[in-house]
A and B are shown apart, each in its own frame.
Chain A
Amino acid sequence: MNPDPARSDPAGADLAGLALAVLAVAPEAAGGIWLRAQAGPDRDRWLAALRSHAVPGVPFRRMPAGIAESRLIGGLDLAATLASGLPVTERGLLAEADGGYLVISMAERLDPWLASLVAATAETGELHVERDGVTQTLPAHFAMVALDEGIDDEAPPAILTERLGLVLDLAHARFGDLPFSFETVASARARLPLVATSARIIGELCAAAAGFGLASLRPSLQAVGVARALAALHGRLDVADEDAILAAALVLAPRAVQWPSRQEQQEEAPPPPPPDAETPPPEQPPQDQSGDPPDDVMSQSALAALPAGLLADLKARAASGRQRSAGKAGAREKNARRGRAVGVKPGDPRTGARLGLIDTLRAAAPWQKLRRGASFGDGTIAVRREDFRIVRRRARRRTTTLFIVDASGSSALQRLGEAKGAVQLLLAECYVRRDEVALITFRGRVAEMVLPPTRALARAARALAGLAGGGGTPLATAIDTARQVAEGIMRSGRTPVLVFMTDARANIGRDGQPGRERAMADARQAARELAALCQTTILIDTANKPGEAAAVLADAMEARYLPLPYAAPELVVHAVSQERPAPRAAHRA
């Protein structure tokens, strides 16, 4: 049965309904969906609809954000092992989701490490288990539903979103009646292997991806797969233009980092009417050789298919130059809090240390025959005190060095250069130390996080290139921002070290209004609040003639004061290294 023809008009498409139909028809080709939505009835309704359209009986496994690694991958099932006296393995959640859907709750809070595990499994469709003496390769084909409740810049780790073909913002999508019935979805599933994609369509989707500035090839591939699913849903055996347009709207446009060139003029004009499915237009050579920006008819049409609110939202994001996927993956190392187990040793678990159950079992195993003979005869495992193994952990006392650099006024360029130099040198150290570096600059009225905490050189290099200087000195705002960032760093289990590089001549107040006196008072107030955090702070006075202003401020924030009019990067690094909390890898039981 074919749907109402009006629904295949891309301009008025119900993206939410389409996305779920595609995910029900071709879970593998789509990879999954990045579903931005707050928890609520709409999201529940969407998930329920996906479930009712999927193959009946396939697993839907919910993965909470704080899931343990062992549960995700599987390993030895201790309860069953102890009960039966034989090693019994536990199936990991990823294997349980095989053939169905993995619903990732609060994906924006997902630990990058866990995200890598999920991504690696999704990539191969197989779960390789090499844990606790268990070696298994289990099928794990699943489509992911990443529920993202993030606000502003929060986003799931890029390693995950890369593999989620569909992107949907429920707040902007029109989610009315479902466009396809269960029967249509089922017959589309059967038709899907027969659907062909012409070389022209593939070429246009690739061109559209280029037009949106998408470097990775995955979105193009996913768009082709989604277009085929859409064709199958519409009862076609060849992908038509409107399928490709909708696929571009579902896969490519929401990831846009740039806008296709002719966008501006065409914005007011109504979108070009989609060509009739029966008569594929002969126009459009597969590829323009002229060196023009890639042909953007398709991307234009895809944009036209997006709801107006979403479009505005996307444009604002692209305009701010911030790529959502760049995210803060490096900053959210939640592992740090619990410290990573580095091994086990014999010991008494009652001292508060965690029992290494599997290693305890291993220690007990060789004696079972002997002990069973003596007292146990019922197949349970005899564990004695000397078998106990406790987990040794490495407490991570890693630091994040946060530079707050004054980019105002005339000497900004030089100071920025010095800061860049210092960040670079520190990053070289981080190589060995595995510490992180972050950079905040302030000028005009704002303080901006230029480089989120990272130890990735590639990202740092990109962020540092092309920093601008000049403007007022919103010192209070900068200190406030620094405090917030430092709190975030502490929450993630790291130790922040703050390095201010400024001449401390504030002239923009907290409220963004100019005025030196007020601004200085605000700055001192902010400094005192920062001091309450009790963190290591260094203030480097970069004024040509180091003066009282900076010294007073340093005093207020209980910072070490360093007058360095020409702060050579080496000196800065030296100063920071001295202030760094020394014991980094203390072992505790």
Chain B
Amino acid sequence: MSAEAYGAQRPLPEREENLRETLGGHMQTVDRANRTVRVTPAPAPRQRVPFPFSAIVAQEEMKNALILSAIDATIGGVLIFGDRGTGKSTAIRALAALLPRMRAIVGCPYGCEPGRPAASCEHCQRLSLEKGRRGQAESHLVAVPVVDLPLGATEDRVVGALDLERALARGEKAFQPGLLAKAHRGFLYIDEVNLLEDHLVDVLLDVAASGENVVEREGLSIRHPARFVLVGSGNPEEGELRPQLLDRFGLSVDVETPTDLETRIEVVRRRDAFDRDPEAFADAWRGRDAGIRRRISAARKRIGSMTTSEAALRRATELCIALGTDGLRGELTLIRAARALAAYQGEDTVEEEHVRVVAPMALRHRLRRSPLDDSRATARVERAIGEVFGS
């Protein structure tokens, strides 16, 4: 932000205790003597320009992981762990600008996809029954939701709860969808994911596994689809992540502060330029961001018709065996990530090389862990890659 926002004189609130905001963000003045409430529309919030994705210096693996999960949601999200001040949350917030818009049914509170009644909410299923076979429900293009799960969020807002405003004002029993509903078909971002409270982690694990949010509280009985890509970031010094949650992330990336002075200078230089004039800086990088967006779109179209070479499959299996990863999840993620990478590079076939590139991020958090050996997980994957690929 520029200094100008600070320089602007703002009038002091006339009577602070009387100025409140309603749930919708409207300013509301409560006059206690006359028992009246005056509501005025809220001022539009200032839009902050996000730091452009393409302007992020180095951190290639982190950027790749985010792009891959944007191409194929079934990869299952990204966990970014690392030092403070490495641009973890910058990269994730910048991702939103890279996502091609998606088609959603008009009026659906969950943004359901048209043409897939089986995966839709009750509202859209009813709609498709009414319309019958004759026509599709009306749909429009919307931005893919990237929903922030802020620290300190309460459970009722995460899963959804009784709409208090409508209940109190009109005596209606209505469901106020939570963040999980908002994130449907999009991304749910948790910064400082290792600080998330346990009972919220439980909810997340449950919903992420089933793709459906079931709310049974306050006399409500609601279920709605909630399929989202989980993106988390955190600093290992603040504490570890529960293994069950760790397992939910398809890819994991360790970021470190660049030690090379040139790179560090470049980071500071770009950030300084951005801080001085965010709009101009974003303008300068808009073309490159658009390029990545086009490639993501193209990769999504291509991914359905990709073939996977026998050798790539074999290497993936060998790697998982060599590392002793539990279950098939690692293998599946590995292949999916390799396929997304191949699609992003414009290839038609997934080759060994693709598997090799994505192996560290797909597998490093799936190793059977020995405590304190954490930092060496990457090295173990590298070693296994060396053995399997015979380099």
User: Main SS of chain A's interface residues?
Assistant: helix
Q: Find out whether the CB atom of B176 lies under 8 angstroms from the CB atom of A80.
A: no
Task: Collect the chain A residues with CB atoms within 8 Å of residue B191's CB.
Answer: 120, 123
Query: With A139-B45, A366-B173 given, is the CB distance from A116 to B239 under 8 Å?
Result: no
What 0/1 pattern do residues 86 to 99 of A give for CB contact below 8 A with B? Answer: 11111100000001
> A532 contacts the other chain (Cβ, under 8 Å)?
no
Query: Which residues of B130-169 have CB atoms within 8 Å of chain A's CB atoms?
Result: 148-158, 161-165, 167-169
| Complex Cα spacing A217 to B86, Å | 7
A87-B23, A133-B23, A343-B155 given; A193·B3 CB < 8 A: yes
CB contact between A130 and one of B149, B170, B240, B371 (< 8 Å): that residue: B149
Nearest CB in chain A to that of B48: its residue: A125
Stretch at the interface among B99-107, B224-232, B257-265: B257-265
Query: What residues of A have a CB within 8 angstroms of the CB of B198 in the complex?
Result: 340, 342
Question: Are A131's CB and B157's CB within 8 A?
Answer: yes
Given A202-B265, A457-B236, A460-B372, the answer on whether A69 and B1 have CB atoms closer than 8 Å is no
Residue of chain B at shortest CB distance from A585: B198
- CB of B84 within 8 A of CB of A218, answer yes
User: Of A72, A99, A134, A381, which is within 8 A of B23 by CB?
Assistant: A134
B179 to A, closest residue via Cβ = A130
Instruction: Knowing A134-B23, A457-B240 are in contact, say whether A427-B372 is a contact too (CB < 8 A).
Output: yes
Contacts of A203 in B (CB 8 A): 261, 265
Pairwise interchain contact B167-A128, C-beta atoms closer than 8 A? no
The reply to whether B164 and A130 form a contact with Cβ atoms under 8 Å apart is: no
Determine whether A169 belongs to the interface, using a CB cutoff of 8 Å to chain B: no
Interface contact B371-A431, CB-CB below 8 Å: yes
Whether the Cβ atoms of B22 and A88 lie closer than 8 Å is yes
Query: Which residues of A lie under 8 Å from residue B155 when comparing CB positions?
Result: 343
Binding-face segment, A205-213, A474-482, A542-550: A205-213
A29 to B192, CA, bound (A): 23
A residues in contact with B375, CB < 8 Å: 458, 461
The answer to whether B168 and A86 touch across the interface, beta carbons within 8 angstroms, is yes
Q: For B22, give its contact among A73, A87, A128 (CB under 8 Å).
A: A87
Interface digits, B83-106 against A, CB 8 Å rule (1 contact, 0 not)? 111100100010000000000000
Task: Determine whether the beta carbon of B154 is less than 8 Å from that of A366.
Answer: no
B150 touches A87 (CB 8 A): no
Scan B226-264; emit 1 where CB is below 8 A from any A CB, else 0: 000000000111111011000000000000011101101
Q: Chain A: which residue is nearest B257 at the CB level?
A: A215
A330 located at the interface, meaning its Cβ lies under 8 Å from any Cβ of chain B in the complex:
yes
CA distance A220 to B265 in the complex (A): 9
Point out the residues of chain A lying under 8 angstroms from B265, CB to CB.
199, 202-203, 206, 287
B311 contacts the other chain (CB 8 A): no
Q: B391 at interface (Cβ–Cβ under 8 A)?
A: no
B358-390 toward A: CB 8 Å interface, digit per residue (1/0)?
000000000001111011000000000000000
- Interface flag for A584 (CB, 8 Å): no
Query: Which of A83, A141, A224, A457 has the largest count of B CB atoms less than 10 A from its CB?
Result: A457
**Alpha-carbon distance A358/B157, docked complex (angstroms):** 13
Query: Is B171 located at the chain interface by the 8 A CB criterion?
Result: yes
Residues of A in contact (CB 8 Å), total 108
A58 within 8 A of B: yes
Complex Cα distance A77/B267, Å? 43
A198-240 interface code vs B (CB 8 A; 1 in, 0 out): 0100110111011000011110110011000000000000000
- Report the bound CA distance from A139 to B167 in whole Å: 28
B327 contacts the other chain (Cβ, under 8 Å)? no
Q: Is B197 an interface residue (CB 8 A)?
A: yes
CA distance A361 to B23 in the complex (A): 15
Closest to B244 in A: A432
What chain B residues lie within 8 Å of A366 (beta carbons)? Answer: 162, 167, 171, 173, 218-219
Is B15 engaged at the interface, CB distance under 8 Å to the other chain?
no
B23-A89 in contact (CB<8A): yes
Q: Is A102's beta carbon under 8 Å from chain B?
A: no
Tell yes or no: A365 within 8 A of B by CB: yes
CB distance from B387 to the nearest CB of A (A): 25
Within 8 Å by CB of A216, from B9, B148, B199, B257, lies B257
Cβ-neighbour of A116 out of B2, B192, B372 (below 8 A): B192
Residues in A whose Cβ lies below 8 Å from that of B235: 159
Question: Among A20-28, A248-256, A271-279, A491-499, which stretch is in contact with chain B?
Answer: A20-28
A192 proximal to B (CB < 8 A): yes
Q: Establish whether residues A55 and B6, one from each chain, have CB atoms under 8 Å apart when the complex forms.
A: yes
Number of A-B contacts defined by CB within 8 Å: 268
Across the interface, name the chain B residue whose C-beta is closest to A372.
B171
A85, A224, A458: the one contacting B374 at CB < 8 Å is A458
Q: Let me know if B268 and A125 touch, CB within 8 A.
A: no
| A218, B218: Cα distance in complex, Å | 46
| Bound CA–CA A135/B9 (angstroms) | 28
> Would A117 and B152 be within 8 Å (CB), given that A56-B9, A99-B6, A133-B23 are in contact?
yes
Asked if A57 lies at the interface with its beta carbon under 8 angstroms from chain B, I say yes
Known: A77-B20, A91-B20. A287 touches B243 (CB 8 A): no
Q: Once the chains bind, are A113 and B10 in contact (CB under 8 Å)?
A: no
Task: Indicate whether A126 sits within 8 Å of B48 (C-beta atoms), given known contacts A133-B164, A189-B7.
Answer: yes
Q: Name B1-25 residues within 8 Å CB distance of A.
A: 1-12, 20-23, 25
Q: Is A135 in contact with B151, judged by CB distance below 8 angstroms?
A: no
Q: Verify if A122 is at the interface (C-beta below 8 Å from B).
A: no
Of the candidates B170, B197, B268, the one having the most CB atoms from chain A within 10 angstroms of its own CB is B268
Kindly state the separation between the CA atoms of A20 and B198 in the bound complex, as whole angstroms.
Answer: 41
Q: Are A25 and B3 in contact (CB under 8 A)?
A: yes
A424 at the interface (CB under 8 A from B): yes
When the two chains form their complex, are residues B84 and A210 in contact, meaning their CB atoms are under 8 A apart? no
Contacts of B192 in A (CB 8 A): 116, 120
B366 → A minimal CB distance (Å): 15
In the complex formed, the residue of B with least CB distance to A458 is: B236
Q: How far is the CA of A100 from the CA of B324 in the complex (A)?
A: 54
Q: Which residues on B sit within 8 Å (CB–CB) of A432?
A: 243
Contact assessment for B12 and A76 in the assembled complex, using a CB-CB cutoff below 8 Å = no
Q: Do B10 and A428 touch across chains, with their CB atoms under 8 A apart?
A: no
A109 vs B288: C-alpha distance in the bound complex, in angstroms?
A: 46
Question: Which 7 pairs from chain A and chain B are nearest by CB?
Answer: A369-B171, A365-B167, A128-B150, A428-B371, A130-B157, A130-B153, A218-B85
List 20 A-B pairs, Cβ < 8 Å.
A28-B3, A86-B37, A88-B22, A124-B89, A125-B1, A126-B45, A128-B150, A129-B150, A130-B152, A132-B157, A189-B7, A193-B277, A202-B268, A202-B269, A215-B259, A216-B257, A218-B84, A294-B261, A342-B198, A458-B236
Other A-B contacts than A130-B154, A458-B237, 4 sampled, CB-CB below 8 A, are: A90-B20, A217-B86, A362-B167, A456-B240
Interface residues of B (CB under 8 A from A): 1-12, 20-23, 25, 28, 30, 32, 35, 37, 45-46, 48, 83-86, 89, 93, 148-158, 161-165, 167-171, 173, 176, 178-179, 191-192, 195, 197-199, 218-219, 235-240, 242-243, 257-259, 261-262, 264-265, 267-269, 271-272, 275-277, 369-372, 374-375
